[in-house]
Amino acid sequence: MKPVPRIKLKVNGQEYQVEVPADITLLELLREYLSLTGTKEGCGKGECGACTVLMDGQAVNSCLVPAAKAEGSEVLTIEGLASPDGRLHPLQEAFISEGAVQCGFCTPGMIMSAKALLDQNPHPTREEIKVALSGNLCRCTGYAKIITAVEKAAAMIAGEGRG
């Protein structure tokens, strides 16, 4: 496998230059080359949303992004949500307090899709939350608590004046 010329990208605010083979995905780049294992691989073919990250502000399935396509882009993963001092993001806090996590495998993807939504629409309706999370599958909690957690996070962010 021919390595592609060094890929330059920003992940969670930090600049990286990585030399990777031409055949890997952004998901593999994150997990295996940058050791950011918070992003999960579920189906590996764009159906489940477990690998959702934000690329230039938009939610994408990182399993469907060839690493080379991430060149020059800005990526946000679940590891980049908490403040540098360790304070959790309101979405993370709300998922915990609402019990919106069971096995936890879908959670990083859910939270990243919710983050993309709240960045564009800080006061979503339950219906809008459902649409924003419609590309993320959860096989244990059954969604109701997840939707409530996103509502709660939106209220927390509005109250705190932070995103």
Partner 1 sequence: MYNIKEYYEAATLEEATELLAANPNLTIIAGGTDVLIKMHHGQIEKAELLSIRKIKSLQGIRKLEDGTIIIGPLTTFTQVVNDPVIKDNIPVLAEAALSMGGPQIRNVATIGGNICNGATSADSASTLFALNARLKLQSKLGERVVPIQEFYLGPGKVDLKAGEILTEIIVAPGDYQGYGGHYIKFSMRKVMDIATLGVAVICKIKERNIFADVRIGLGVAGPTPLRCREAEAFAKGKTISRETIAEIGKLAVKSTKARTSWRASKEYREHLVEELTQRALKAAIVKAGGEEIA
By the criterion CB under 8 A, which residues form the site for partner 1?
2, 4, 22-25, 28, 44-47, 49, 52, 58-61, 64-66, 68-69, 71, 113, 116, 131-132, 134-137
CB of 87 to partner 1, least distance (A): 28
**Whole-angstrom distance, CA of residue 15 vs CA of residue 17:** 7
- Nearest one of 7, 106, 110, 11 to 55, comparing CA atoms: 11
Give Cα separations from 42 to 103, 123, 138 (angstroms).
13, 29, 11
Smallest distance from the beta carbon of 36 to partner 1, in angstroms?
17
DSSP state, 88? P
Indicate the DSSP class of residue 121.
Answer: -
Closest CB to partner 1 among residues 45, 160: 45
* Closer residue to partner 1 in complex, CB, 11/70: 70
DSSP structure class, residue 33: I
Cα of 87 vs its chain's centroid, Å = 18
Are 162 and 115 within 8 A, CB to CB? Answer: no
Closer residue to partner 1, CB minimum distance, 2 or 85:
2
Which CB, 69 or 93, lies closer to partner 1?
69
Nearest distance in Å: CB 105, partner 1: 17
DSSP state of 21: B
Judged by CB, which is closer to partner 1: 52, or 77? Answer: 52
